[in-house]
Each structure stands twice: as structure tokens, then as C-alpha cells.
């Protein structure tokens, strides 16, 4: 084994290898210990588990549930009920999972053990990256990371995204020397101001940066789009050693000023590279970058072309697959390109069941009996008191690593758009938009972001697709009319039948003003979502968000 990994890192990899060989027994053992530990909790009692801890009794007595089914119990915990409703372990905090189409987050109870598993996964993942990319010496990471807010629930528990809890708990403080930004920037209350300072600190330490990262690909894409707007201001700050007046928050300002020193030569270099254009800018400004680290699968796929443009041949390492509820999979081949990323199940993270898609009866399969090529919905039982809980994700099994299933993230299981019998999910929407938006290049237009809405207020109802283009000053009507026709023509067969029968109305393509998607983000973040975990909602139903979209429409095309 490679000598540059520490003993702890080698042990973490060896432990995972061992668990991969004994995955089935490990899963049965984990379930049994969860059930033993929580035998007295109200939920398991209510379902007649009576101290039983075998898989058969568990599956026959405890139902599969949706997050909404558990909401009343979880709300009681948040309100201060400590009577062991779901778990005998003390609940240490409440996690807010990323928003849904309504812009609302799910509440998830967290325990110390859940957090330890997440940290263990981060550690393992870093060890694998270090091993596979032969990283001998850690440089610095330009990490577009934002702490977000912690709210206090009625019962006193703090609620926030898992990244917010981690960052505000101080657990990551020992890693700060590896980040180019000081803590004051990470904890800043305003995402745009922190983003600016992340860029500035990253440029000031350009030679030392070996990784550019964000939790989700949107984070890096958005930061570099912003860089395109503010690079002259950044150059001015570096040339003069003063900080732009756009940074109004005292703590962010103070923390950044401590790093800022006048460096006219660096300013000149940044200026000369930026005027050359944005393709390959990462390697030109951060010459020692080894890789980009961020999630590029699922709803993050649309951002891959942007990362490839900014990074050119810098490898993109796709982050692991997890949720607030539990860790799910790890990327064992960090050097695989985004489109080839598969995850390997982490067998000590939760007890996993797999519900085959399109099958009557709701019988789950365990990890040893999955069919390669088939899609399954993930059902998890966690160390923090969720039992047979629908995570809401669909995976496609690609094979096995020893006894552990490997899979691609397929999509969220929810249907996003539906007027009649048509059911359009996130993956289909993303694929249709990706296919159609290729036409934009012909008119020198570029799609920045998109979302959708099934409008039931008209008769018949119809799909509305909202696009924000990079430069709305020079849109090409002819091409946009064609895009609108194509969007309408490329959705699924039931959609086409509905259109032909007149039960679905003509599709609307709305071009919105620049910055509209930033305004959507700001609104969602102000409602308590985490900036680090923020994902553009691909379907919007909330009245407030629709209002932002509708008041920003520049022109409408109808198929």
C-alpha cells in the first residue's frame, strides 16, 4: 500500500475493504443493534416490535414511510418531547435537508452517532482521493463554503443543514489552515459578500491552491460566474491592498483585510488572464490545482459543462452521496469522469432496503439480491431513529464491489410536472432542456439556469419552463421560438398524447431577467435553507417563488 497515507487513513481504507467483503452480515448486525438499542422507543412499540430484532419481524411489522408520515412525531421532538419517540439516543440537533419544490426543508433528528458516521465517511473519502490522485503534500483548498444560519426550535434544539452544524460546531476548525479563506468569511451572513472574499483570498494564495471545491457543483459554477462580473474590482483590491466597499459586513471585512496585502504584480497577472477569456481560467490563475472536488451527479449534471469550461483538463472528483438522513454511498474511483461516476454503498452507515421500481406490492430486496441495470428506490433505517424511511432517491444498480452494490444516482423519485397522465421527473426535464438548449449556441446565447412549473390555472393546464440566459440584451427570437417548439415536442409519450388530445395546453417558455435565479436563491436561503446545500429547484410551486419568476419575465414564447 502507498506510503504517503497516514496510518489512520490506511486503517480507514482497510476497514472499508473488510466491510465490503462481509456486507450482508454487517447489515444484519447493524439492524439488530439499532432495534435492540431502541426497543423501548414509542415508534417501535407502536408497531409491535416488542424487543424483536430480526429482519423478518422488522419488515413484516414496521411499515415503509414517507418523510411526511413522520413529520408530526419529528415536530414533537423539535418542540421539546424527549420521551424517546423514535430513538433512545439523545437528539443533539435537528437537520434541515435541502428544499423541495415548495422551497420547504425537511426536519431530520440527529444524534452523536449519526454525526460520527458522517465524519468517518469524509475521512475515508479524503484518504481515497489522496491515494488515487497520488497527493503527497496537501496544499490549500479554495472552498466555496458558507456556514448558513442555525435556528432554535421551540424545544431548544438547534436546526440547520448538516453542513451548517458542522461548520458552526467548530469540528472543522483544525482544517482551517488548509482553506484559503479565514473562518470569518465562511461564517459571514451574506453569501455574495463571502463569495467575493473567497475569490479574493483564493487569488491572494493562488500558488498554494491545489483543490477548488464546493459541496455541490452549483457552488463553483455560481462563484465563477460571479468572478466574471467582479474580476476588475478584485484586481483593484489586490493592486491597492484595499477592500471593495461592497463588503459591508464587519466580521467578513475584518477577516479578509487580515489576509489582504498590496500586490500589483499579482493584480496585473489576474487582469491579463481574465481579459483572455474564461475557458481554462482555473489552471491559468491557480497553476498548481490538482483537482476540482464537488458533486456533479443528479441535479448537478447541468453544471458539468461550466466546470469543464472553467477547468478544462483539471480532473473533476465527484463528491460522495449522502443526505441529512444518512450517508449512502462513497465514490471509490475519484478519477472517473462525471458521466461515469458510480457510488458504492457504505454498509455501516444505515440499514438499506431497495424497493424495485414499477413493482406492485412494495416488497423490498436486500443488498445481496439486486439486479444489475435495474432501478430501485432507497429505503433507510438509520442510527438516529428513522425506520424504513423513503429517502426519495432512485438509483440504478451497475454491479458489485465484493459484496457491496454499486450504483448510479438516477434521480429524485418524485414526479415534477404532471398535467394529466403525463409524469415528467427531474431527469427527463433536465435531459429535454439539455437537448433543446444546444440550439442556443447558434444565436450566441447561453443558458444560465432553469426551472419549471405545471400551470393548472389555465384550461387545459400546461408546462411553463423558465430560462435565464447569460446575456438577455441580444436574444434571438427565431431560435427561442424553435426552442419552445422543441421543448413541447420532446417530453414523454403521455405528454404528447395529452397535447394531441387537447388535454394539455401549449407549452410556455418564459425568458426571465438576469439575476432572477440569484433572487430565487436568496429567497430560499432566507427561509432557512443552507447556502452550501442549495440546489436550484427544478420545479417550483411556491406562490412566493412563482411571484419572483413571473415578475421577472422578459418575454414569453408559446408552442
Nearer to ligand AMP, 182 or 219 (CB): 219
Of 380 and 511, which has the nearer Cβ to ligand AMP?
380
* DSSP H helices in 315-374: none
Question: Least distance (Å) from ligand AMP to the CB of residue 231?
Answer: 30
What is the Cα–Cα distance from 317 to 290, expressed in whole angstroms? 10
In whole angstroms, the minimum distance from the beta carbon of 242 to ligand AMP comes to 38
Q: Provide the pairing of β-strand 508-512 with 343-345.
A: unpaired
Cβ nearer to ligand AMP, comparing 101 with 256? 101
Element (DSSP H or E) covering residue 104? none
Q: How far is the CB of 509 from ligand AMP (least distance, A)?
A: 27
Rounded to a whole number of angstroms, the minimum distance from the CB of residue 294 to ligand AMP is 9
The C-alpha atoms of residue 421 and residue 401 are separated, in whole angstroms, by 39
The smaller minimum CB distance to ligand AMP, of residues 215 and 491, is found at 215
Nearer to ligand AMP among residue 256 and residue 542 (C-beta): 542
Q: What is the rounded distance in angstroms from the CA atom of residue 349 to the CA atom of residue 1?
A: 25
φ, ψ of residue 20 to 5 degrees: the values are -65, -30
Length of the chain measured in residues = 559
Q: From the CB of 545, what's the least distance to ligand AMP, in Å?
A: 18
Distance CA 198, CA 286 (A): 14
By the 8 A CB rule, do 193 and 236 touch? no
Cβ atoms of 146 and 191 within 8 Å: the answer is yes
Beta bridge partners of 455: 462
CA 74 centroid distance within chain: 23
Judged by beta carbon, residue 266 or residue 292, the one nearer ligand AMP is 292
Cβ at position 414, least distance to ligand AMP in Å: 10
| C-alpha to C-alpha distance for 358 and 336, rounded to whole angstroms | 30
Min dist CB 97 to ligand AMP, Å, is: 3
**Judged by CB, which is closer to ligand AMP: 105, or 424?**
105
Distance CA(17)–CA(288), nearest Å, equals: 32
Measured CA to CA, the distance from residue 19 to residue 117 in angstroms comes to 14
User: In whole angstroms, how close is the CB of 162 to ligand AMP at the nearest point?
Assistant: 6
Q: Residue 319 or 461: which CB sits closer to ligand AMP?
A: 319
Tell me the C-alpha distance between 252 and 256, whole Å: 6
Cell 438548449, located at residue: 437
To the nearest whole angstrom, how small is the minimum distance from the Cβ of residue 98 to ligand AMP? 3
Nearer to ligand AMP by C-beta: 139 or 298?
298
Residue closer to ligand AMP, measured from CB, 377 or 488: 377
Give the number of other Cβ atoms within 10 Å of residue 242's Cβ.
12
Q: How far is the CB of 547 from ligand AMP (least distance, A)?
A: 24
**Long-range contacts (CB closer than 8 Å, 24 or more residues apart) made by 550-555:** 552/512, 552/513, 552/516, 552/519, 553/466, 553/510, 553/511, 553/512, 553/513, 554/472, 554/475, 554/511, 554/512, 554/513, 555/475, 555/477, 555/480, 555/510, 555/511
Looking at the Cβ atoms of 144 and 321, the one nearer to ligand AMP is 321
Residue 268 or 339 with smaller CB distance to ligand AMP:
339
**Inter-residue contact 416 to 427 (CB < 8 Å):** no
Spatial distance between the Cα atoms of 559 and 487, rounded to a whole number of angstroms: 8
How does DSSP classify residue 84?
A: -
* Cβ-based nearer residue to ligand AMP, 302 or 322: 322
Give me the least distance between CB of 533 and ligand AMP, in Å please. 4
Largest CA distance in the chain: 72
Angle at the Cα of 91 from the Cα atoms of 85 and 96, rounded to 5 degrees: 100
Pick the closer one to ligand AMP by CB: 367 or 380: 380
State the minimum distance, in angstroms, from the CB of residue 8 to ligand AMP. Answer: 24
Tally Cβ neighbours within 10 Å of residue 490: 15
Secondary structure letter of residue 179 according to DSSP: B
CB of 194 to ligand AMP, least distance (A): 19
The nearest distance, CB 130 to ligand AMP, in angstroms, is 19
Q: List residues binding ligand AMP (CB under 6 A).
A: 97-98, 295, 297-298, 319, 321-324, 391, 393, 409, 412, 533
The secondary structure of 17-59, three-state, reads HHHHHCHHHHHHHHHHHHHHHCCCCHHHHHCCCCCCCCHHHHH
State residue 209 phi and psi, 5-degree precision: -75, 125
Amino acid at each position: 500500500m502507498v506510503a504517503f497515507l497516514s496510518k489512520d487513513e490506511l486503517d480507514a481504507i482497510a476497514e472499508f475493504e473488510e466491510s465490503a467483503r462481509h456486507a450482508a452480515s454487517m447489515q444484519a448486525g447493524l439492524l439488530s443493534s439499532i432495534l435492540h438499542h431502541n426497543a423501548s422507543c414509542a415508534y417501535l412499540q407502536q408497531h409491535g416490535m416488542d424487543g424483536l430484532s430480526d429482519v423478518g419481524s422488522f419488515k413484516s411489522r414496521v411499515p415503509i414511510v414517507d418523510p411526511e408520515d413522520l413529520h408530526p412525531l419529528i415536530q414533537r421532538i423539535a418542540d421539546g418531547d424527549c420521551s424517546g419517540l423514535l430513538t433512545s439516543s439523545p437528539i443533539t440537533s435537528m437537520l434541515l435537508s435541502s428544499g423541495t419544490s415548495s422551497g420547504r426543508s425537511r426536519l431530520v433528528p440527529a444524534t452523536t452517532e449519526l454525526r460520527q458516521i458522517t465524519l468517518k465517511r469524509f475521512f475515508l473519502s479524503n484518504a481515497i482521493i489522496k491515494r488515487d490522485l497520488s497527493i503527497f503534500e496537501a496544499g490549500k483548498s479554495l472552498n466555496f463554503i458558507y456556514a448558513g444560519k442555525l435556528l432554535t426550535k421551540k424545544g431548544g434544539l438547534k436546526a440547520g443543514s448538516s453542513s451548517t452544524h458542522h461548520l458552526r460546531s467548530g469540528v472543522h476548525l483544525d482544517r482551517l489552515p488548509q482553506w484559503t479563506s479565514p473562518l470569518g468569511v465562511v461564517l459571514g451572513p451574506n453569501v455574495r459578500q463571502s463569495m467575493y472574499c473567497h475569490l479574493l483570498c483564493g487569488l491572494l494564495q493562488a500558488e498554494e491552491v491545489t483543490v477548488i471545491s464546493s459541496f455541490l457543483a452549483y457552488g463553483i459554477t455560481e462563484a465563477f460566474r460571479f468572478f466574471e462580473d467582479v474580476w476588475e474590482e478584485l484586481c483593484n483590491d489586490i493592486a491597492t491592498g484595499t477592500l471593495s466597499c461592497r463588503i459591508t459586513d464587519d466580521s467578513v471585512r475584518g477577516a479578509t483585510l487580515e489576509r489582504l496585502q498590496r500586490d500589483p504584480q499579482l493584480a496585473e497577472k489576474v487582469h491579463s488572464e481574465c481579459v483572455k477569456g474564461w475557458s481554462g481560467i482555473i489552471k491559468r490563475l491557480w497553476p498548481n490545482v490538482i483537482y476540482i472536488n464537488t458533486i456533479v451527479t443528479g441535479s448537478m449534471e447541468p453544471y458539468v459543462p461550466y466546470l469543464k469550461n472553467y477547468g478544462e483538463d483539471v480532473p473533476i472528483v465527484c463528491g460522495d452521496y449522502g443526505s441529512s438522513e444518512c450517508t449512502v454511498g462513497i465514490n471509490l474511483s475519484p478519477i472517473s469522469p462525471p458521466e461515469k461516476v458510480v457510488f458504492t454503498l457504505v454498509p455501516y452507515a444505515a440499514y438499506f432496503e431497495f424497493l424495485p421500481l414499477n413493482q406492485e406490492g412494495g416488497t423490498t430486496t436486500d443488498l445481496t439480491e439486486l439486479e444489475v441495470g435495474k432501478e430501485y428506490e432507497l429505503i433507510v433505517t438509520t442510527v438516529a431513529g428513522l425506520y424504513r424511511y423513503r429517502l426519495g432517491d432512485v438509483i440504478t444498480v451497475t454491479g458489485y464491489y465484493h459484496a457491496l452494490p454499486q450504483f448510479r444516482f438516477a434521480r429524485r423519485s418524485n414526479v415534477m410536472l404532471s398535467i394529466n397522465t403525463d409524469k415528467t421527473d427531474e431527469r427527463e426535464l433536465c435531459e429535454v432542456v439539455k437537448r433543446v438548449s444546444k440550439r442556443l449556441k447558434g444565436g450566441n446565447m447561453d443558458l444560465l439556469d432553469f426551472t419549471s412549473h405545471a400551470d393548472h390555472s389555465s384550461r387545459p393546464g400546461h408546462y411553463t419552463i423558465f430560462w435565464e440566459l447569460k446575456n438577455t440584451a441580444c436574444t434571438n427570437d427565431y431560435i427561442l421560438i424553435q426552442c419552445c417548439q422543441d421543448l413541447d415536442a420532446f417530453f414523454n409519450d403521455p405528454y404528447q398524447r395529452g397535447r394531441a388530445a387537447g388535454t394539455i395546453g401549449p407549452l410556455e417558455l418564459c425568458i426571465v431577467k438576469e439575476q432572477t435565479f440569484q433572487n430565487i436563491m436568496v429567497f430560499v436561503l432566507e427561509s432557512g435553507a443552507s447556502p452550501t446545500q442549495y440546489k436550484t429547484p427544478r420545479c417550483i410551486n411556491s406562490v412566493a417563488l412563482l411571484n419572483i419568476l413571473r415578475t421577472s419575465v422578459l418575454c414569453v414564447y408559446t408552442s
